[in-house]
Structure 1
């Protein structure tokens, strides 16, 4: 419970949220010494998988949060449920370090889903290195389901899941697309170091990147740089790259895997020098020969960000060129850049009321099935015993819990599945009465309650719909149940002697007075 409380507090105050796989059992949190990030166990966020330690040789040379993995040797899809604030923008990072945890020296390949949608395919070109999947995502519900999907190429595993809240005004896209990390560069680096938290309050990972036609400019800033919603680290923004040839443009490019891929670019600028009165630095930004933005004059101690207002797509190469204007005395500069690839999350998540209802049913009855992640999607991993409609937002339309070892009464949570058309609770050990709330399920066409221990009258609304033919109602082998009200028990004490032994098991007769 402590882990959950910690997470909620971090969400509320916008502090770093980190969930780490420490061990399969509950463990207290710890602070990573090199980053000062506080990590907690994942045990409260998933009820599947096994905790495994990486090899001792690997453990001695890697950060503490990579020392353990959670492995999923069974089940096609295994999912976390992490509570978030709907409508808030998050940076979500999943890290995978194999570390030969299984002694096989053969890293697996598997899919990573977010809810019902494919996020990434995880593979390991170099087993000695960690793989990272990172996304900027705004959840529409108050939880997320990161899922690992077995594709028959080894057991999926994960090392850490980390969430950070971002400013909603940052990483603006045309239609609230989800953005997968593609590149993030510290262009002016003079240390060749990777920077993350606590240099970066959002724990973005900044990788140094140079080019043989660039040189670096730097400044020891005596004042804080004016911040914008992106809050880039000062150690990154206090250096910049510029062409060695002051008359040449500043150029960079990338080649997509296919022309249909969509990208957003975010370019960060800050003048790192105090310019003399006769110096100016103004330039235009071109993409593939066409003006992208300009003219731009970076401000001193002021962070400027230039980004694509709509997704870039349809090109085999994206060539950016920063060229100084005719009146500029200095060449262009750039401090940092980020490139993200659009992920099309086409599959909508199941209606939250339905998810809450079916989750409560699962927990209350202790349903022993691999019910994890989104109940309705993707279709290949729909929960066993469910059917759904997919017109707009997926809705649960069928629930089959026949022969599932259910005990107790029929749960009121079922009434919250308001689009239910088919309900089969037969061949269990359910007791108590048939509840009136079942009559509220206006779309219900089939109700099977046979072979249970239900008692008392059946609600008249169900009986009436059955007589009208709008509801298929099955109630057989509930010996103490009747279809009319009031129900009384009658005892037959005056049977002929010859019939008494024959009807011994039927002495108690349930009757209904009309």
Structure 2
């Protein structure tokens, strides 16, 4: 029958060697030589006492994410020790990948499991995406009731590409959910390339295991019963009876699929001669599906003959009118011999059935031992251009970026790569600014023939600029400023038409080589003079341009603009603040820039660095005092610091020219070899953070409500000056309570400008595209997800600081004994939506009986400031205005409670009222309490640099 070859492929039992022998009772467990079993989050390798699987940690397969070594409720799964740990991913990057070694052109089974177990105490199971190499797999959605107390297991069959040494398994946030992905385990089983041989299973295609059934089985089977650790679920069908082989051992057979003997030992069959019907119903939301189905049969009767059991099999799909006829005995040569059929074109709907009908001469009814149903998912996806992908791998190795795994462009690109829409996609841009890169620029960049833009600024790259960059045909932008590049710029770059080349801040010579110049008496002397003049002129112009671009020229706003802001009289500020607008606030008298100090000067002032007063991302901070009596704080670069020369230069350049009473003044700096030091005015009262929590000052010198209001206004005025009083504006990028310092009169000043960036020019773009940097808990979620930095990014961070001032709690806290995680945005938003101020307000505030209208006003502006989308946040000028009004309310407070904020007894703080998000600020009326709290992405994690 010629149609049979196109309808299905018959796998007959043959005596072939296989990768692993199928286990049977009394036999040793099959080999795990081709297993990779990763218990994600585990601290050490171990052998599971129940299954015998040898689990390893994920340390050798990924370098991103955070381990959770105890997932609540996992102890109930005695057969799944891997559920007890997990790794979650909340770093500010787009995707997180595991890299697994594989053999090329080989079939593999990939299984991933996800057991939430409420590990983060948020009761919010996440939704996120998973990808294998360039292909996006089914969404991981754990929000349904099925996974409240159970795990999700996803199994895929795939084929590695020819020459592929690795396989990437990646996770990334669903754009609509923005929750941290996590994974409990990853299992890779390398199979013989003929395993599950179908015309569909080629490199780049996948079969997703929808169901695997053991008909007549009485328990779940996995390794060691299944040599590949597939999970077989016992299955019974109403109206069918179970039959078993008389012998406990089914003959070991050598097909490359190899169902376990225990599956083939039992079967289901009708009690009388008649059809056997199997139903596949999955719900209309996922259907119809193009599937491949594998059916397993064993004639368990020892008395069967060639005419005992003959039946036709009809499957749903395009060939449903051409049923297949199966005679198990003829194919196997006797009883207890398994046979396997598979169909590659089965269409499953919510009414699909597989029907097995005995022919008229059959003595016994049909039977079935097992079945596997796979969705053909997804269609073939082309990876990034093979040559480009290979070059990116080489560049990652050269620049020590090996923690960035996965396909460069698909299904989403790496954070620092831009890709074309061509098929296959090409790498058209690389933006590795501020990545702390060292070493030389890899010459392999010259092999990215579609590259149009290369950004490597603000790193520590050395050596010369590779000549290979000049050969890139499409290159229009090469940005290399602020590195340690030397030598001469290749002439192919200096003469390349239309190329934007920026090499400021490097020792490199941007000139054309002039070789074999004639002696002075030669007639060519005039040409030499012309060349020298041209070169000198070019260098002069470049120097001027560099100075203009690097430095921002801050100016006082006009008095007319200042008068538009509502100001408080000077005598209303108890902390010495003048109450002037940040846009036109008092500027320091010394506006001549920072002074350069010698190492001897600094050593003398600090008494050989005797008194350490702090520690930051740049390095330790020491107290110093100059001979003229001026007290200073000296930040000394740490060799292990993740900040470096770029942040140092950035801070010196900005603070030398930015002066405001609410910005920490830079007194000077020192560069001695590799040692870099920043000298600031000394502020006696330390940081706001120290007065709120985490320091003895929080108990000895707590900040009262009025002082907190003044502190908030001072800091807001400093930020307003940066945003509105400088052209172009300056975006701080790292606002947090530890970067706001206090004078001995509690005047607040914003500090630490190492990560600051110049904002967009007036009339230009609305944002600056840059690598995400900042501190977990304070990062603007919109900036994190888009790399688009705006002034509203500072507003978000400042909103978190306002919440800290209200609550006296840090933004995120995973140190509590019950392991619960405090997320200040989420907690405050829920509480205020319910009108409950009592549960979140710092006891140091409520015990002093503040004016509650003032408290609520600050809460309102704080919640608006931490809206997920920047368009819903106020500008800093609006924040300043609201804080002034809050101070006016507090100053007018008599100290007595009103009935609105007390209970019937008049003794217990309540403070309940509806939260009003309506303000006079433009474009903010649609702010919603139901908005997703993006900052939950940063529940844990270090200072991002």
1:107 and 2:125 aligned: yes
For structure 2, the residue ranges without an aligned partner over 5 or more in a row are 1-30, 517-535, 541-945
Q: Take 1:67 and 1:47, find their aligned partners in 2: how far apart are those partners? A: 20
Q: Deviations over 1:254-313 (max 9, x none)?
A: 13535542111100112112125696111111135633311433432332111113x323
Match of 2:46 in 1: 30
Match of 1:54 in 2: 70
Is the contact made by 2:306 and 2:327 (CA closer than 8 Å) also made in structure 1? no
Q: Deviations over 1:26-51 (max 9, x none)?
A: x3x21111111111101111111111
Q: Take 1:214 and 1:372, find their aligned partners in 2: how far apart are those partners? A: 50
What pairs with 1:359-508 in structure 2 (closer than 5 Å)? 359-366=393-400, 371-378=404-411, 381-464=412-495, 466=496, 469=497, 471-475=499-503, 478-486=506-514
Describe the shift of the 1:225–1:475 C-alpha distance in structure 2 as closer, same or farther (beyond 3 A).
closer
Match among 322, 328, 334 for residue 297 of structure 1: 328
1:165 and 2:164 aligned: no
Match of 1:139 in 2: 160
Match of 1:307 in 2: 342
In the TM superposition, residue 458 of structure 1 has moved relative to its aligned partner by 2.9
In the TM superposition, residue 315 of structure 1 has moved relative to its aligned partner by 4.6
1:196 and 2:213 aligned: no
Describe the shift of the 1:330–1:146 C-alpha distance in structure 2 as closer, same or farther (beyond 3 A).
same
Match of 1:19 in 2: 38
Q: Deviations over 1:448-505 (max 9, x none)?
A: 33454433333344345x1xx26554445545414323579xxxxxxxxxxxxxxxxx
Q: Take 2:170 and 2:391, find their aligned partners in 1: how far apart are those partners? A: 20
In the TM superposition, residue 438 of structure 1 has moved relative to its aligned partner by 2.4
What pairs with 1:65-104 in structure 2 (closer than 5 Å)? 65-75=82-92, 76-104=94-122
Q: Take 2:288 and 2:326, find their aligned partners in 1: how far apart are those partners? A: 30
Q: Which structure is higher in helix share?
A: 2
Q: Take 1:240 and 1:183, find their aligned partners in 2: how far apart are those partners? A: 17
Describe the shift of the 1:436–1:316 C-alpha distance in structure 2 as closer, same or farther (beyond 3 A).
same
Q: Larger Rg: 1 or 2?
A: 2
Match of 1:357 in 2: 391
Describe the shift of the 1:385–1:198 C-alpha distance in structure 2 as closer, same or farther (beyond 3 A).
closer
In the TM superposition, residue 417 of structure 1 has moved relative to its aligned partner by 2.7
Q: Take 1:405 and 1:52, find their aligned partners in 2: how far apart are those partners? A: 29
Describe the shift of the 1:85–1:331 C-alpha distance in structure 2 as closer, same or farther (beyond 3 A).
same
In the TM superposition, residue 319 of structure 1 has moved relative to its aligned partner by 1.5
Q: Take 1:142 and 1:366, find their aligned partners in 2: how far apart are those partners? A: 19
Q: Take 1:201 and 1:475, find their aligned partners in 2: how far apart are those partners? A: 59
Match among 295, 300, 320 for residue 354 of structure 2: 320
Say which is worse superposed, 282-291 or 92-101, in terms of deviation: 282-291
Is the contact made by 1:54 and 1:99 (CA closer than 8 Å) also made in structure 2? no
Match of 1:251 in 2: 277
Q: Which structure is higher in strand share?
A: 1
Match of 1:287 in 2: 315
Say which is worse superposed, 88-97 or 268-277, in terms of deviation: 268-277
**Alpha carbon RMSD of aligned pairs, Å?**
3.1
Q: Deviations over 1:138-174 (max 9, x none)?
A: 1323322222222336432211000112232232333
Is the contact made by 1:228 and 1:303 (CA closer than 8 Å) also made in structure 2? no
State the secondary structure of the residue aligned to 1:102: coil
1:338 and 2:376 aligned: no
Match among 108, 116, 120 for residue 138 of structure 2: 120
What pairs with 1:5-16 in structure 2 (closer than 5 Å)? 15-16=34-35
Is the contact made by 1:435 and 1:459 (CA closer than 8 Å) also made in structure 2? yes
Q: Take 1:314 and 1:336, find their aligned partners in 2: how far apart are those partners? A: 18
TM-score (norm 1): 0.82
Describe the shift of the 1:212–1:127 C-alpha distance in structure 2 as closer, same or farther (beyond 3 A).
same
State the secondary structure of the residue aligned to 1:414: helix
Q: Take 1:429 and 1:304, find their aligned partners in 2: how far apart are those partners? A: 64
Match among 160, 178, 181 for residue 156 of structure 1: 181
Match of 2:815 in 1: none
1:272 and 2:300 aligned: yes
Say which is worse superposed, 122-131 or 157-166, in terms of deviation: 122-131
State the secondary structure of the residue aligned to 2:222: coil
State the secondary structure of the residue aligned to 1:291: coil
Q: Take 1:270 and 1:88, find their aligned partners in 2: how far apart are those partners? A: 29
In the TM superposition, residue 388 of structure 1 has moved relative to its aligned partner by 1.4
Is the contact made by 1:227 and 1:302 (CA closer than 8 Å) also made in structure 2? no
Q: Deviations over 1:371-390 (max 9, x none)?
A: 44322122xx3223322124
For structure 1, the residue ranges without an aligned partner over 5 or more in a row are 1-11, 489-505
Is the contact made by 2:250 and 2:265 (CA closer than 8 Å) also made in structure 1? no
In the TM superposition, residue 211 of structure 1 has moved relative to its aligned partner by 1.1
Q: Take 1:122 and 1:81, find their aligned partners in 2: how far apart are those partners? A: 20
How many residue pairs get aligned? The number is 468
In the TM superposition, residue 234 of structure 1 has moved relative to its aligned partner by 0.8
Is the contact made by 1:183 and 1:338 (CA closer than 8 Å) also made in structure 2? yes
Describe the shift of the 1:412–1:91 C-alpha distance in structure 2 as closer, same or farther (beyond 3 A).
same
Q: Take 1:225 and 1:155, find their aligned partners in 2: how far apart are those partners? A: 45
Q: Deviations over 1:93-139 (max 9, x none)?
A: 00112233223344323222223332122233232111101111113
